[in-house]
């Protein structure tokens, strides 16, 4: 009798373990399908939001409108843009950030001007910047765009970048506009009225004050170094009133010439 009970106990235990293993395995599979279904729903949601908000500029299927707005229907293309603009984050963060903060000025005014009716080349969309879309909605649109995959898109001949003007101030301005610094900063010289970051008017003097301040956390010892540091690694010091995490992208891919031009121009503001 006792033997039978023990045997039965063992059988039940083995059965319980087997059931548990079975559930764990199938649960993983079930979760994977769930995540896929969820992702699909978010992409669909992103497509709908894109249709409602973006097609007047970027085209019905994100194929772009020549002269007006760039195509967005190729991950390869967006990856190339991340390189061209010197953006240091992922392609996802590039898309999310562009949608969220918009662009006051086009980085390629010779190719895409946007519709100027909003006073910006590309309007801002995130509620964080006063736009109409929630953060999760911006994320869904980004997922939709990334889902186009690696289809290379014909964009016509890429113009070789013109050499920078000899005048250092003008050269700095060209780099400033090309990298959309103006969409976040104020700078009279560039007619920039961005409201996301601190003003660049008087930056030469401000930079000198920043490194003298006891709360300064970076490593610059001169105002020039401070400006360079802000551009290459904005997290080294976050200006008081901003942060705690810097909302300023870093630009480690700028050439030495571009960086020098920017710093020289900004030093004289």
CB of 148 vs ligand HEC, minimal distance in Å: 11
The distance of closest approach from Cβ of residue 177 to ligand HEC in the complex, given in angstroms and rounded to an integer, is: 9
Toward ligand HEC, which CB reaches closer, 148 or 251?
251
Member of 47, 74, 112, 223 binding ligand HEC (CB under 6 A): 112
Stretch that binds ligand HEC, among 24-32, 37-45, 106-114, 163-171 (CB under 6 A): 106-114
Q: Smaller CB distance to ligand HEC: residue 163 or 244?
A: 244
Residue 226 and residue 206 in contact, taking contact as beta carbons nearer than 8 Å = no
In the region spanning residues 34 to 53, those forming contacts with ligand HEC, defined by CB under 6 A, are 50, 53
123 binds ligand HEC (CB under 6 A): yes
Taking residues 228 to 247 in sequence order and writing x for each that binds ligand HEC by CB under 6 A, - otherwise, the string is --xx--x---xx--x---xx
CA distance 165 to 172: 9
Phi, psi of 50 (to 5 degrees): -60, -45
C-alpha distances in Å from residue 205, one per residue of 153, 163, 177, 247? 45, 29, 22, 22
Residue position matching structure tokens 């967006």 = 78
Write down how long the chain is. 269
- Residue 220 engages ligand HEC in binding (rule: CB under 6 A): no
* Contact of 47 with 144, CB cutoff 8 Å: yes
Site string for ligand HEC, 49-88 (x = CB under 6 A): -x--xx-xxx----------xx-x--------x-------
Which is nearest to 110 in space by CA: 49, 66, 45? 66
For residue 258 the two structure tokens come to 């571009």
Please name which of 269, 265, 227 lies closest in space to residue 248, comparing C-alpha atoms: 227
Longest dimension (CA), the chain: 101
Rule CB under 6 A: which residues touch ligand HEC? 50, 53-54, 56-58, 69-70, 72, 81, 95, 98-99, 101, 103, 106-108, 112, 114-115, 118, 121-123, 125, 141, 179-181, 183-185, 196-198, 206, 210, 227, 230-231, 234, 238-239, 242, 246-249, 251, 262
């Amino acid at each position: 009798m006792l033997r039978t009970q023990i045997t039965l106990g063992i059988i039940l235990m083995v059965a319980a373990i087997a059931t548990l293993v079975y559930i764990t395995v199938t649960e993983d599979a079930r979760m994977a399908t769930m995540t896929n279904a969820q992702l699909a729903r978010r992409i669909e949601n992103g497509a709908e939001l894109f249709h409602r908000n973006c097609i007047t500029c970027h085209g019905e299927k994100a194929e772009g409108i020549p002269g007006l707005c760039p195509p967005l229907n190729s991950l390869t293309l967006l990856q190339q843009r991340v390189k061209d603009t010197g953006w240091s984050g992922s392609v996802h963060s590039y898309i999310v950030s562009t949608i969220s903060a918009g662009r006051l000025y086009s980085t390629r005014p010779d190719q895409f001007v946007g519709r100027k009716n909003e006073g910006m080349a590309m309007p801002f969309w995130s509620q964080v910047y006063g736009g109409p879309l929630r953060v999760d909605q911006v994320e869904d649109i980004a997922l939709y765009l990334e889902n186009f995959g690696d289809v290379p898109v014909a964009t016509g001949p890429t113009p070789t970048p013109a050499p920078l003007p000899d005048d250092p101030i003008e050269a700095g301005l060209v780099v400033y506009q090309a990298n959309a610094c103006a969409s976040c900063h104020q700078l009279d010289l560039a007619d920039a009225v961005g409201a996301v970051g601190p003003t660049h008017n008087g930056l030469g003097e401000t930079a000198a004050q920043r490194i003298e301040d006891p709360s300064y956390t970076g490593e610059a010892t001169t105002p020039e170094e401070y400006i360079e540091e802000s551009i290459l690694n904005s997290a080294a010091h976050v200006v008081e009133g901003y942060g705690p995490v810097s909302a300023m992208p870093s630009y480690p891919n700028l050439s030495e010439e571009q960086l020098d031009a920017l710093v020289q121009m900004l030093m004289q503001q």
